[in-house]
Structure 1
Amino acid sequence: MCFIVERVIIPKNTHMKRFAGLLALAAIIILFTSCDDGGGFLSASGTNNEMMVLMDDASWESTPGRALFDVLNSNVKALPQPEPNFTILQIEPDNFTSTFKMARNVIIPEISSIYSYPKLTADIDKYAMGQVIMNIHAPDSASFAKFVTDNRESIVDYFVTKELERTGKWLKREVTAPLSRAQQVFGIDIYLPKGITNVTEHQNFYWATNNAARGRQDVVIYQFPYTTEKVFEKDSLIAIRNQVLGKYIKGSFDSEMTTANRVYPPDYRTMVMDGTFRAELRGLWEMSTDMMGGPFVMHAFVNDNTGMVVVVEVYVYAPEMNKRNLMRNLEATLYTISLPKPEEAIIEG
């Protein structure tokens, strides 16, 4: 562990509306900057889902800055209440000293006539391990604003994915060993956050929860034979989810868990992670007759070692609090999943 002490000077003309946020970030970086295990390279600092934007005050308050703010301040998908994707801190480029260079997520806009068209590039681990810097170039303010608006989903998804990957790596270091029952029953490696220890099992079904009074987090894993690729279509995944979770997850008055299609039609996408195709479903869950509900994210994929479709879902119940960080911290569990080599698989007979 390294402790870095550096004097931070906030210029007198810094906007007061950002003063508290900048001091908070500076305090985090000064008092608790960790070193990576290898080579003494410092790890990025700051809180989860925090975004630093290097932009002069005039540009920030005008068209390009407002366009970028609207992108970063857009609502997180599939939460029951509006919450911004990021906590935004804007600083003048001249204030981007070595202290603030440790920030985990940074966007550096550059508007100049030397560029013939808008583009973006990314620097990984430039000043610190785990850091992501996105450079957005454009020839003028109008093209910059249009570019970030047109690419809003790509910009947000890129940083959110990096946050999830970063948290997933931290989780694997924190927990140190994958869930043994997931290895034995489903033939996968997955790391669950500490505290999610209340377990219910049925054949081909595993459900773990922290059963917390505040900020409840749950992880569900189940599997079934792979027979057709149509199982990965959106409607099929919703139907399977309602069938399986409706059977095993019950509430008061014999209520069943179901997908809240009418409130928020689930988002669906596909991806490839570590060479494995995955389908993702993101939406809201509810109990059929209880006043309970919240967000969920599901990943489904084929385990080639077993010929089974494995579904891993995380969901939270926290009506008393904001859910962005709670949900993303749990969603990072999905980014710890891996398939062992066939000769290394440990599966019950």
Structure 2
Amino acid sequence: MQKTLKLLLALSAAMLFSCQTENRNPLLPNISGAAGEVIVVMQKSLWEGGTGSEMRVRLAYDYGILPQEEPAFDLIFIPPDGFSNMFKLNRNIIIAKVKSTADSAMFAAKNDIWAKPQLVMEIIAPDTVSLTDFIKLNGPKMASLMEDAERNRIMASFKANQNKTISDQLQRNHHINLIVPSNFNIDVDSNNFVWMSHETPEISQSILIYHYPYEEGNSFTKSFLISKRNEICKAYVPGPNQGSYMGTERDELVDFNEFGYKGRYIAYLKGLWKLENGGFMGGAIYQYLYPGHNKKPSSYNRRFRLRPQKGKAQPDKAVRSHIAYF
């Protein structure tokens, strides 16, 4: 599904902005900067005025779905005279400037100008008003281009460092094709349930896979999917206290969507999980479900927990990108 979405996003961006070019140079240095970091190059007066404000609204919006607010992208302002070679290696760069000789606002998005894999976007407008209006109108498309670039980087990293042993085990035992990052381990692998996780002192990421018999007219409703997930997690995902387990944080907060892909029905839920019967653990959860092998619905869940002082948005994007490629 994500491969199709990436193609559609790239095509729509090319039509809207009229310039989306490729420049893959294997000799370029690797990108710098953390995931989600964006260097914004413009005059200080623009950044501190309406143009910069509009840029922050359109690109540093609340990522959502997390227990606390976090920006989707971390914008770092750099004035033109401070845009040194060090900053030119960043993964995402936006250059915005006013040029009185321009007939109208123009946009160009290019890959790998100073580093790889890099996305550089440039906006040139005849005046401040035109520049601000362009960002206001096309900010979501710019965000989509950066999301797409980050997703490609994540998947390239996963593919280059996958755990082939676990991927083969999933295919052999559950008829599932999934790229598993090398830092994940299998905690549980039963007839109908798999729990894979990556644990560090700062972060806990898990991917849960389970399948169960199809029930006519009921297996794909929102209430049934939440109930089934709670049932599975109660049985297989215990908490630190006796009787505690991973549950759903308020059913009404769960978003539910349905779509078709290559003739297959897919249900998608996103929301928050919490620790039932004790403790204050919780985080974001995403779930894809589709009719799987022998017509048994298969579900892919993902959840993670972080220390409160650590950012969650970028690790969240990483695992969302991962399970979206099932």
Same fold (TM over 0.5): yes
Q: Describe the SS at the equivalent of 2:29.
A: coil
Q: Which residue of 1 aligns with 2:314?
A: 325
One-letter amino acid of the counterpart of residue 42, structure 1: P
TM-score by length of 1: 0.70
**Separation in 2 of the partners of 1:207 and 1:197?**
9
Q: State the Cα deviation string for residues 234-283 of structure 1 (Å, max 9, x = none).
A: 55544443343344323334234222136x82345578889987554332
User: What's the counterpart of residue 244 of structure 2?
Assistant: 255
Q: Which runs of 5+ in 1 are unaligned?
A: 1-36, 339-349
Give the structure 1 partner of residue 272 of structure 2: 284
User: Which residue among 44, 47, 50 is the counterpart of 2:34?
Assistant: 47
The residue aligned with 1:76 is: 63
Q: Which residue of 2 aligns with 1:148?
A: 135
Residues 55-102 of structure 1, C-alpha deviations (whole Å, 9 max, x = no match): 111111110111102333222221112222222222223444544332
Contact 1:199/1:209 (<8 A) preserved: yes
* Cα distance in 1, alignment partners of residues 197 and 289 from structure 2: 20
Post-superposition shift, 1:151? 4.8
TM-score, normalised to structure 2, is 0.74
Partners of 1:102 and 1:289 in 2: CA distance: 48
- Secondary structure of the residue aligned to 1:43 is coil
**Contact 1:226-1:308 at 8 Å conserved across structures:** yes
Give the whole-Å Cα distance in 2 for the aligned partners of 1:42 and 1:127: 8
Q: Deviations over 1:103-146 (max 9, x none)?
A: 21112224456354x67553233443321123345554345434
Q: Which residue of 2 aligns with 1:185?
A: 173
**CA distance in structure 2 between the aligned counterparts of 1:80 and 1:295, rounded to whole angstroms:** 8
Superposed displacement of residue 207, structure 1: 0.7
- Number of paired residues? 298
Alignment partners' CA distance in 2, 1:277 and 1:127:
42
Other-structure match for 2:285: 296
Matched position secondary structure for 1:254:
coil
Give 1:163's match in structure 2, choosing from 150, 153, 172: 150
Question: Aligned ranges for residues 184-333 of structure 1 at < 5 Å?
Answer: 184-224=172-212, 237-251=225-239, 252-261=241-250, 265-268=253-256, 279-291=267-279, 292-301=281-290, 307-322=295-310, 323-333=312-322
Q: Which moved more, 1:264-273 or 1:194-203?
A: 264-273
Q: CA RMSD in A?
A: 3.6
Instruction: State the one-letter code of the partner of 1:283.
Output: G
2:176 and 2:125 map into 1 onto residues whose CA distance is 45
**1:176-204 Cα deviation digits (max 9, x unpaired):** 62622221233233233344325113322
- Maintained 8 Å contact 2:59/2:140: no
Deviation of 1:51 (Å): 0.5
Counterpart residue identity of residue 246, structure 2? M
Q: 1:317 to 1:97 in 2, by over 3 A?
A: closer
Q: Distance in 1 between matches of 2:174 and 2:120?
A: 37
Question: Is the aligned partner of 1:172 residue 2:156?
Answer: no
